[in-house]
Structure 1
Amino acid sequence: MNSIPDIIQSDFRAALLSGNKAHCSKTIQSLIDQNFTLEEIYEHLLKRTLYQVGELWEQNQISVATEHLASSIVENLLNELYLQLQPQQCNGKKAILASIPGELHQIGVKMVNDVLEAKGWETYFLGSNVPSNDLIRFAKGVKPDLFALSMSLYFNLPELMKLVDELRLHFPDTKVLIGGQGFTRGGTEITRRYSNFTYCSNLYELNNYLT
């Protein structure tokens, strides 16, 4: 595991907050050329920077507009990285990925989607704020081997619990992966209650889970 130097991450954050997408993209390409892995770029650059941006917003040091700009640029960068993926042979497994109802953030679960695709999974990325009824209806047609759900804000925990009840009713044996920044404040006890639920705090834990 290679750690991206702080000076590079700091420079990337400054470019992101100023809206300099070209510089951000150049930084990503430089890391790829240096043989940093997808997980390393996601974890040590993109995820780390977005967490810092979120903290700046919570502290009223940046505006909502700037936070949205940063998120938009990162989503574009994810799309650029996606084009460079070299997926493994299809393993026959299917996963549905989504942010829970009421959750407007989707970047983290998009990263999980890309990692799964790179490992040969057939993925269905539904994005943010997916109503429970629609997710269940869609899943009945797909019959997934895995659900991956994201919660970025802790106050959305009640919505997660409602969705958990629905999943346990309709898909009692299907594995469910949960993650997101919201769990830094609690909620992971759900994995102790239900054996088919697993919490992953980062992409390295995801890799261990998949092997």
Structure 2
Amino acid sequence: MSDLLTKISDCIEFGKINKAAPYPPQMKDMDGTDELTRQALDSGISAQRILSEGLMPGMEKVGVKFRENKVFVPQVLMSAKAMSTALVHLKPYFLSGEVKQKGTLIIGTVEGDLHDIGKNLVSMMVEGNGWKVVDLGTDVSADKFVEALRKNENAIIGLSALLTTTMVNMERITKSIKEAMPDAKIAIGGAPVNDDFRQRIGADAYSPDPQGLVEYLNSLVA
């Protein structure tokens, strides 16, 4: 059984989606996350174990490699696709409550900013580490974040921005969320921001990479 979970983790790490997928070349004609996840469920491995011992270790390895510049965005997107393929099989178990998720992240690119690659990468990494992700998309106003937070109690907010011109909106949105819900936890990320900026606007966490956000989120439920 553990051999299947190791294979799933390897497929996530290297981006092997299914048997037909040509990528990565060294895993050509081998089963991918699609087949292996089905096999694991059919053999009686719980969806919770598949998530915690297959998907999460694979995504963690990808996150660390990305942070260390050992892999780049295209490879991470392949890993995320492999993970999403596995999650299709696990979704019914999430919905039934059999698989317990760690918590909820509400994420969006702030008002005035239409960039979403960074946000999407973060969403995939966080979901692959056992969190529910509510993705509000791009150009998201403070009101939309607050509304989503009211619908998802105790969720953490993730704000993304790629432009220096939209950093000011990040500050305004953070203040609006904190005024509406003083206990809300807000994490920020994106090319122009740093930890000094985080402190200045009153956000709770900053990470330069997706893995850092995953580690922050996990620290909240440890």
TM-score relative to the length of structure 2: 0.57
Whole-Å Cα distance in 1 between the matches of residues 185 and 166 of structure 2? Answer: 21
> Stretches of 4+ moved more than 3 A in 1?
27-30, 35-38, 40-47, 74-81, 84-89, 193-196
Deviation at residue 119 of structure 1 after TM alignment:
2.3
Q: What's 2:100 paired with? A: 90
Identity %: 18
Write the mapping of 1:176-195 to structure 2, written as runs, cut at 5 A.
Answer: 176-183=186-193, 188-193=195-200
Whole-Å Cα distance in 1 between the matches of residues 64 and 175 of structure 2? Answer: 34
Consecutive unaligned residues in structure 2, runs of 5 or more: 1-21, 34-57
Write the mapping of 1:129-168 to structure 2, written as runs, cut at 5 A.
Answer: 129-168=139-178
Consecutive unaligned residues in structure 1, runs of 5 or more: 1-24, 50-73
Deviation at residue 112 of structure 1 after TM alignment:
1.7
Whole-Å Cα distance in 1 between the matches of residues 129 and 109 of structure 2? Answer: 21
RMSD of aligned Cα (Å): 3.7
Deviation at residue 78 of structure 1 after TM alignment:
4.4
Whole-Å Cα distance in 1 between the matches of residues 163 and 141 of structure 2? Answer: 17
**Residues 130 and 194 (structure 1), Cα distance of their counterparts in 2 relative to 1, 3 Å cut:** closer
Whole-Å Cα distance in 2 between the matches of residues 29 and 159 of structure 1? Answer: 45
Instruction: Supply the AA of the counterpart residue of 2:115.
Output: H
**Residues 162 and 92 (structure 1), Cα distance of their counterparts in 2 relative to 1, 3 Å cut:** same
Task: Pick one of 175, 181, 185 that aligns with 2:185.
Answer: 175
Q: What's 1:38 paired with? A: 62
Is the contact between residue 153 and residue 181 of structure 1 (CA under 8 Å) also seen in structure 2?
A: yes
Q: Does 1:26 align with 2:50?
A: no
Is the contact between residue 160 and residue 190 of structure 2 (CA under 8 Å) also seen in structure 1?
A: yes
